[in-house]
Structures are given as C-alpha cells and as structure tokens.
Amino acid sequence: MNKIVISVCLLIQPLYTSAQQRSVSIKEALAMVANSQPQVEAYEHRSQAASYGVKMARNSLMPELVAGYQAGYATYNNITGMSYPGFILPISGPPSSGNVYDPVAGSAVGAIVKWNPLTFGQRQAAVEKATMQFKLAGSSANEAIFRQQYLVILTYLDAVYLQKLLQSYQSNIDRTRVGLEQSLVFAKEGLRPGIDTIQFRSVLAQTQTDLLTAQQQYYRQLAELLRLTAMAGKPDEVLLTDTLLISQQPTGVAVMDTITAHPLFQYYQAKRDLSEAALKEVQRSWRPKLDIWANAYARGSGVAADGSVHSADGWSLTRRNYGAGIQLSFPILQFSQVNLQKQQYRSLLKADEAQLKQVTLDLQTQQETAQFNYNQSLEIAKQSLVQSAAARFAFDGLKLSYQSGLTDFTRLIQGQYDLLKAETAEADAAIRVWRSLLELAVANGNLELFITKLK
C-alpha cells in the first residue's frame, strides 16, 4: 500500500519547476510583438523603404549634373575622334579627305546639366503614387501587427485554459487516489470486493495519462507563445500572470459602429488608392516632356586643322565648348499603348473597389456574428456554473454512499467523471467568453476593447 501511494505522489509532481521563471502578462506579450517580433520588424522596414520612394519622387525636381573625363585612341577620319556616347554631346567637324585608319589620340572633359522643372503633372502623379505605396506599406504593417497581436492573445487564453485543465486533472487524480486508499481498507476488512481496488488503479492510470497529455498541450502552447512574441527562454520558464480572468467575466462592453478604422479595411482602402494613383500616372504619361540642358566641355585632338597629326595635342584639351538649350518632346505614336494601359489600370481599380466593398460586407457580418457569439457565451458560462455545482454536490453524495456501502464503484466513478466533465466545461465556458470578446474586438478592429477588461 505504501509503495502505491509513493508512486502516485511522484507522478503528480508539477511539470514546470524552473528556477528562472519569467512572469508574462497579456499586455507584456503584446508589447513584445510590437518591439521585437522579426516578421513585424520586416513589415516595418518595408514601410520605411516605401517612405524613401516618396522622397525620391519629390527629389526629381532637382537638376541632374554629371561630370566626367574621357581619353582614348580613334581613327583619323574626324578631327574630334570618337567619344563614348551618353555623356559628351557630339559636335560636327571637318572630315578627312579620305579614309585613314591610323589611330590618333583624343580626350575630352565636361559636365552636363539636365533639368525638368515643368512636367505637366507627371511629377505630381509620381509623388502621389509613391505616397500611396507608402500608405499601403504602412497599412500592411499595421494589419500584420494587429493579426500577430490577436494570435498572441488567443494563444495566451488557450494556455490559461490548459493551465486550469491541469488543475482539474490534478484534482481528479487526488479524488481517485483517495478512493483507491479507501478501497484497499474496505477490501482488507471485507467490506468491498477486491475488484474495486483493481478498477481504482486502472482509473488512476487513466487520470495520470490525461494529466500528462494536458501537460504536453500546455507546453506546446507556451512554446507557441514564445514564438509569436520572439521572447527568449524555454516554455518551462514562462509563468502566466493573467490567470484570474478564467474566474471573471468581462462586463460593460462598448462596441463601435464603424469599420473604417479596422486595419484590414484600411489596407484594402490603401490598395484601392494606390491603383487610383497608378491610373493617374498612366493618364499623364502621354503629356509633353520639357527638358532644359546645358553642357560645357573641353576636348583635345591629335589632328591639327591642316590635317597634320600631333599625337601630343590629343591630351592637351585645347578646344573648349559650351552650349545650352531646351527640348520639348511629345510621344505621338504612343497613344495606343497608353490607352491600353489606362484600360488595364481602370480594370485594376474597379477590382480593388469591388474588393473593398466585399471586405466591408465581411467585416459587418463578422461584427454581428461576434456580438451574437459573445452574448451566447455569457449565457453558456452561467449555465456551466450551475452544472458544475450540481455535479460537485452529486459526487459528494455518491462518495458518502460508497463509504456507507449504499452504492457501488460504477456509480461512484461515473459521478467522479461527471464532476471532471463539468469542471472542464466550466473552464471552457469561462475562457470562451474571453475568446468571444477577443473576436468582437477583432471584428471592430480595436484590441483595446479586450485589453481594457483585463484586471
């Protein structure tokens, strides 16, 4: 008998006894998401990158200035020799009297300025598009943080429920152990058949298995909480502090009527605005372009004006040139292509507008459903308290009847099972109220609706 009792006590020792446990509340877990979660940090960096796109679009008002130096060997056939295209503006010069392919030294140094002070609305459209891209990136980051915080709270609530479940399973083990000890005494005195002792041992093994299974689930839930919050440490080092909420019910819930502040709505709204800005940019791409340019450079040529070759003069930059002008260009034959692009972007805009309408309908339905589920969860929680109290009273009566020999093992164990079922149902109903409140907060796009109810 003593050996059996010792083995039972060893099996019901707590699983998590780390000396370095870290207390974590729901608010602290949410703060970790916003500050250190790698996935959220990635969204924030993308948003920051998009902000530079706005600055780059506005910076196009600044003139371009390029300076450089060229040197090389080219054929004799033109006294300027050859220049690398794209920087030194070409000029005409006297041709040679015939084809002479001997290499002649040549060099050039210069600077070219290009400025587009007037873009006929094209720069403004580019800035608006970049601004909408930044807005979309920010909305995407906000929606990602919102979704991550929701998962953190949901995981925390599940962990609290499992912790309560562990307590119920431990209580069930204690009740079974007491029954086992009594059956051993009754069997020794001949008041109960020995089969009761064997059955109690079988039930005890099952209750211990249930506890170990719940401990596995609890450990996995804590590990998931660590992953979502990017918190250092091991699951057995986490100590949940917001555990009293399972015995409390939130009251005075005030719900918003608008969905325009919902992160998901704002994301799709920003996506629609980006498509509208992209369409405007395409519409203005067929407008004229005005360029103001200026160029100054000096050149050297190994061919003199009389046609004689002086290679050393090719490096001396003896001729200096400068020029300035304006250019107005208009893409006449691009009308068809631009028109097709406009039709394409109009279709994309209509698609985003339809998507935004669908999201609006979805969020409205989600709000109504979440409100209904929350009200139902409150009623279910009230009924679970009645059921739990009745099951506890019935078990106490069956336990006394068993001790008095008025009932058998089967009825006692059934009453014990009903009590365990009622206790777990009470915990599930209590945590379901908080889950329903969380879903209501998510449907309204404001987690403060949930957080303000935490004690």
Half-sphere exposure of 350 toward its Cβ, with a 13 Å CA cutoff? 6
Residues 196 and 188: their CA atoms lie apart, in Å, by 12
**Domains of the chain as residue ranges with CATH:** 2-61+118-288+334-451 (1.20.1600.10), 63-115+289-329 (no CATH)
- Check residue 94 and give its pLDDT: 52
Task: Please answer whether residues 372 and 396 qualify as being in contact, where contact means their C-beta atoms are separated by less than 8 angstroms.
Answer: no
> How large is the greatest C-alpha to C-alpha distance in the chain, in angstroms?
137
Local structure of 301: helix, strand or coil: strand
Residues 151 and 145: their CA atoms lie apart, in Å, by 10
Residues 6 or more apart from 10 whose CB is under 8 A from it? none
- Check residue 98 and give its pLDDT: 63
Residues 148 and 131: their CA atoms lie apart, in Å, by 26
Residues 6 or more apart from 20 whose CB is under 8 A from it? 233, 237
Residues 6 or more apart from 273 whose CB is under 8 A from it? 132, 135, 136
SS (H, E, C) 335-363: HHHHHHHHHHHHHHHHHHHHHHHHHHHHH
DSSP conformational letter for 95 = B
- Check residue 10 and give its pLDDT: 34
In the predicted model, residues of the chain with pLDDT beneath 50 are 1-17, 79-81, 92-93
- Check residue 6 and give its pLDDT: 29
- The answer to whether the predicted template modeling score (pTM) of the entire model surpasses 0.85 is no
Q: Which amino acid belongs to residue 390?
A: A
